[in-house]
């Protein structure tokens, strides 16, 4: 049935008016709450790397299409542009629902209360309306059976394919940039990690000595001989007193490390190393006065990774202490890279992944970490996603005391870190692009990296407890345990480890 010219004109005007209302409302809502819109785009699995220019460009593109639709002379071009944009939006949702690692929150505006599937249906409806409008508007100007009408379908098909191709290209490019060439854009998981348990430790002098076999082991700075053992629910707590077979040392900086079934008592200022089993908490001296050290990571029964001071250069260096059959020390001076003084600028934390048999050293004051094999042979130098590649430190030398110290508070990049299998967790102190300042006042940010792929994965928030920030944490068996003030808090990481953590290559 052929519609009358008047009926077609009314339909075209109706479709045009719907598009004008949609785009004016959508563009206005984006511009009025621009910061929120930009933050939401920053969390998009497709647009994270391009959130800046997409946030600026989208509302102005929508308003430009409105101008084309308002003037009859340019209305056909406006409908073509509207069709392309709605196809692009629809393809975006299809990729989000079927190929994205997670589904982000709604983009707000007129579709704020719709699910992603409802968004898709809404968009497809407008795609169909655009096709109807283009067909009727073209029929006004030419014979529907002419060559021009055939060209119409060719143009529509080309615009459809082009719009879908743009979305696919954005998805592939954004994933590559975010994971391997990240411009400091965090991808936060769309749900909050759940606080499962918490326990009052009374004092804030505890530190994580180790984890394993469903237990968390806490050392105590003010009472170095005490070890506290909790289960994963934090409800069952036991305390033990460590007994050493030799106490005739000038202890100044004792630390306890637990790697079940063994535990180690170390003091790098003496230096000395004791070893025992967690069954009786009695430790025997296995090494003394071999080499001083400040940071340690237990690798296995007979090898300990350390950070020590290279005597000739008086700079930090990494090394290995082999304990069997005799004590042997191996240093690798070139692994830590000096930027300022070789001491403060190379400060950081040392970890060992038992699953991968890899050492990981994370710098405190620059966006770098090191991954090596158990013999300190460099595998690669990785980067955290912030842009601070050079340590920003002010260091003063006190000649009367012969020491160096900070002359201003240091600019910390990576405050704390933990390794679980192939995943490196870093508590960052720096705010990334498109992030909410309000959230930084409420929570700490943890960034997650895959040390096998050398890639950034995602980020999540650990909320403050009683207005106190997380000071240290450890990750074990799908849980994150944090020390916050005088509390220990257990968070469930749920499905975060799904398809992310693995034992080996």
What is the pLDDT, as a whole number, of residue 299? Answer: 95
- CA dist 211 and 478 (Å) reads 12
What is the pLDDT, as a whole number, of residue 505? Answer: 47
The angle subtended at Cα 366 by Cα 363 and Cα 367, nearest 5°, is 90
Helix (H, G, I), strand (E, B) or coil at 139: helix
- What's the distance, Cα to Cα, between the start and end of the chain in Å? 65
Signed CA dihedral, 237, 470, 355, 448: sign only = positive
> Pairing state of beta strands 443-450 and 455-463?
antiparallel
CB 216 within 8 A of CB 208: yes
What is the pLDDT, as a whole number, of residue 436? Answer: 77
CB 83 within 8 A of CB 134: yes
Provide the Cα torsion 110, 115, 118, 120; round to 10°. Answer: 90
- CA dist 503 and 356 (Å) reads 6
Q: Which long-range contacts (CB under 8 A, 24 or more apart) does 15-19 make?
A: 15/79, 15/129, 15/130, 15/132, 15/133, 16/69, 16/75, 16/78, 16/79, 16/133, 18/126, 18/129, 19/65, 19/66, 19/69, 19/78, 19/79, 19/82, 19/126, 19/129, 19/130
- Sheet with 423-428, edge to edge strand ranges: 414-420, 423-428, 443-450, 455-463
CA distances from 77 to 6, 64, 66, 86, 281 (A): 21, 11, 11, 14, 80
What is the pLDDT, as a whole number, of residue 152? Answer: 84
* b/e sequence 432-459, b meaning 16+ C-beta within 10 Å: bbbbeeeeeeebbbbbbbbbbebbbbbb
- CA dist 49 and 349 (Å) reads 29
- CA dist 140 and 320 (Å) reads 82
- CA dist 39 and 438 (Å) reads 12
Residues 6+ apart with CB under 8 A from 178: 48, 49, 185, 187, 456
> Pairing state of beta strands 226-231 and 215-220?
antiparallel
pTM of structure: 0.81
> Pairing state of beta strands 487-492 and 479-484?
antiparallel
Signed CA dihedral, 477, 483, 488, 489: sign only = negative
Helix (H, G, I), strand (E, B) or coil at 286: strand
Provide the Cα torsion 219, 240, 485, 234; round to 10°. Answer: 110
Provide the Cα torsion 433, 438, 441, 446; round to 10°. Answer: -40
CB 415 within 8 A of CB 428: yes
Per-residue pLDDT of the chain (505 residues; tens, 9 = 90+): 466 778 888 899 999 999 999 999 989 988 888 877 877 777 676 777 677 778 889 999 999 999 999 999 999 999 999 999 999 999 988 888 887 666 665 555 555 667 788 888 999 999 999 999 998 888 765 555 567 777 888 899 999 999 999 988 888 887 777 777 667 888 888 777 888 899 999 999 999 999 998 899 999 999 999 999 999 999 999 999 999 999 999 999 999 999 999 999 999 999 999 999 998 999 999 988 789 999 999 999 889 999 999 877 789 999 999 988 788 999 998 899 999 989 999 999 999 999 999 999 999 999 999 999 999 999 999 999 998 999 998 877 666 666 677 767 889 999 999 999 999 999 999 988 878 778 888 899 999 999 999 999 999 999 988 889 999 999 988 799 999 999 999 999 876 666 566 665 4
In the block, residue with structure tokens 């982000």:
104
What is the pLDDT, as a whole number, of residue 142? Answer: 54
DSSP class of residue 48 equals G
């Amino acid at each position: 049935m052929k519609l009358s010219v008047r009926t077609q004109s009314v339909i075209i005007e109706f479709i045009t008016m719907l598009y004008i209302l949609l785009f004016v409302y959508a563009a206005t809502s984006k511009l009025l709450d621009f910061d929120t819109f930009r933050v939401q785009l920053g969390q998009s699995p497709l647009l994270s790397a391009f959130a800046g220019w997409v946030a600026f460009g989208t509302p102005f593109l929508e308003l430009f299409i409105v101008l084309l639709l308002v003037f009859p002379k340019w209305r056909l071009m406006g409908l073509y542009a509207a069709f392309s944009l709605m196809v692009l939006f629809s393809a975006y949702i299809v990729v989000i629902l079927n190929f994205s690692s997670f589904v982000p929150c709604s983009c707000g505006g007129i579709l704020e209360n719709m699910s992603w599937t409802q968004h898709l249906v809404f968009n497809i409806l407008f795609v169909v309306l655009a096709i109807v409008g283009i067909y009727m508007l073209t029929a006004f100007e030419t014979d529907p059976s002419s060559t021009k009408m055939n060209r119409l379908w060719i143009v529509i098909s080309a615009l459809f394919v082009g719009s879908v191709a743009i979305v696919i290209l954005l998805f592939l490019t954004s994933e590559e940039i975010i994971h391997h060439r990240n411009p400091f854009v965090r991808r936060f998981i769309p749900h909050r990690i759940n606080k499962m348990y918490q326990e009052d430790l009374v004092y804030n002098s505890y530190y994580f000595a180790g984890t394993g076999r469903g237990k968390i082991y806490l050392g105590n700075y003010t009472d170095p001989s005490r070890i506290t053992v909790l289960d994963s629910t934090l409800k069952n707590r036991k305390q033990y007193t460590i007994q050493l077979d030799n106490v005739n040392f000038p202890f100044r900086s004792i630390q306890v490390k637990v790697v079940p079934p063994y535990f180690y008592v170390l003091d790098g200022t003496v230096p000395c190393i004791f070893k025992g089993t967690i069954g009786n908490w009695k430790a025997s001296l296995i090494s003394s006065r071999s080499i001083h050290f400040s940071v340690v990571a237990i690798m296995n029964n007979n090898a300990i990774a350390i950070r020590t001071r290279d005597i000739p250069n008086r700079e930090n260096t990494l090394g290995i202490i082999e304990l069997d059959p005799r004590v042997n020390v191996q240093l690798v001076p070139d692994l830590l890279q000096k930027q300022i003084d070789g001491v403060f600028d190379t400060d950081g934390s040392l970890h060992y992944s038992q699953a991968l048999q890899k050492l990981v050293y994370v710098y405190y004051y620059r966006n770098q970490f090191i991954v090596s094999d158990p013999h300190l042979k460099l595998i690669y130098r990785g980067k955290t996603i912030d842009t601070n590649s050079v340590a920003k430190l002010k260091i003063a030398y006190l000649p009367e005391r012969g020491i160096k110290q900070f002359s201003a508070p240091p600019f910390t990049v990576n405050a704390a870190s933990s390794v679980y299998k192939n995943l490196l967790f870093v508590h960052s102190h720096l705010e990334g692009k498109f992030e909410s300042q309000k959230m930084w006042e409420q929570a700490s940010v943890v960034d997650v990296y895959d040390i096998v792929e050398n890639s950034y994965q995602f980020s999540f928030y650990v909320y403050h407890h009683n207005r106190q920030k997380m000071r240290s944490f450890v990750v074990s068996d799908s849980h994150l345990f944090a020390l916050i003030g005088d509390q220990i808090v257990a968070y469930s990481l749920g499905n975060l480890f799904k398809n992310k953590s693995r034992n080996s290559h």
